[in-house]
Structure 1
């Protein structure tokens, strides 16, 4: 995709790597390709000093107890059991895209990246106003976070090739019909150009 006069300011941008954890990737047939592409995206943004933030889903004992029976999430959480416990290795960020020192890492207990974390506050204190989103799945964490980030007045970019859904038709529909209403949909190959164009603009 080509955008006129579109650029990303690295100093005020964060890449959100969402739910790239063993317990979720293990159920996806395209996990290897996703990990390779995500690793490439992380490497690109680090070259420009973009803040990298990680979101993972995991529950401690109190979190399990706090989920009401009326929640639509309750059956899935109970079925997952200890596999989603905060101390389980299965909830760790995959080692191929693991955090470095200085990265933000938050643990959530609901679908989106913001509602059960302090992510918004940690981004604001770093003067972040632009987000690049990547995650699994497209209809899960990505959809929830796009809407929430848009409502919080972030400028949002979507890395369409750093996310997937168990239903490819749902992924395509969201990327082509829904996300463009709240975000710029881009590819990993476009990242470097968008980040460097901001550098060039600020140096003139």
Structure 2
């Protein structure tokens, strides 16, 4: 699939600690393995801030309330989960807000590699996945969402977003279906 990249977003220790689906990391690792086997670049997107969080304002409900040091260098919670740990040479993009594009160099990385089809996974469906999909659609990327490669703490929110919202701007597939198509 020339021009395709798998985005693994916000799969960091402090975020995964709140996932109530024990099978999620292994399932997501299956998508990463399938992408690598097919020669599809895996791009890891993480949330990260400077020491002292100068990028965060108290007006921002999500990030203004973070404890000191959270998602800053040296924070063990900011480390990517070992199930999807980047291989040497894989790109890690650090973002400053909910969308993978905001405060990051993701678009520059994608354009430089001539990647125009994004396969989205991550935590949470109502956060990074939704925000990234909306921005990517406005930037004219082709999009696929791996429904079981995304997680939301509210299963009903996840279902509505995947079935009714995300499907308007993206192809929706499961990890198994997508992996089989790559291998086929």
Q: TM-score range by the shorter chain?
A: over 0.9
Alpha-carbon distance between aligned partners in 2 of 1:122 and 1:76, rounded to the nearest angstrom: 30
The match for 1:25 is 16
CA RMSD of aligned residues (A): 1.5
Q: Residues 1-204 of structure 1: matches in 2 within 5 Å?
A: 9=1, 11-30=2-21, 32-61=22-51, 64-77=53-66, 80-196=67-183
C-alpha distance in 2 between matches for 1:121 and 1:181? 26
Q: CA deviation at 1:74?
A: 4.3
Alignment coverage as a number of residue pairs: 184
TM-score in terms of structure 2 length: 0.94
State the Cα distance separating 1:99 from its structure 2 match: 0.3
Q: Which runs of 4+ in 1 moved over 4 A?
A: none
Structure 1 unaligned residues grouped into runs of 5+ = 1-8, 198-204
Change (3 A) 1:75 1:100: same
Change (3 A) 1:190 1:74: closer
Deviations 1:26-80 (A, max 9, x none): 11221x3111001111111111100100011121126x12323332334432xx3
- Unmatched 5+ stretches in structure 2: none
Between the aligned partners of 2:83 and 2:60, the Cα distance in structure 1 is 33
Deviation at 1:103, TM superposition (A): 1.1
Cα displacement string for residues 149-204 of structure 1 (whole angstroms, at most 9, x for unaligned residues) = 1111110000000111111110000001000111011001111343356xxxxxxx
Given the two structures, how large is their TM-score scaled by the length of structure 1?
0.85
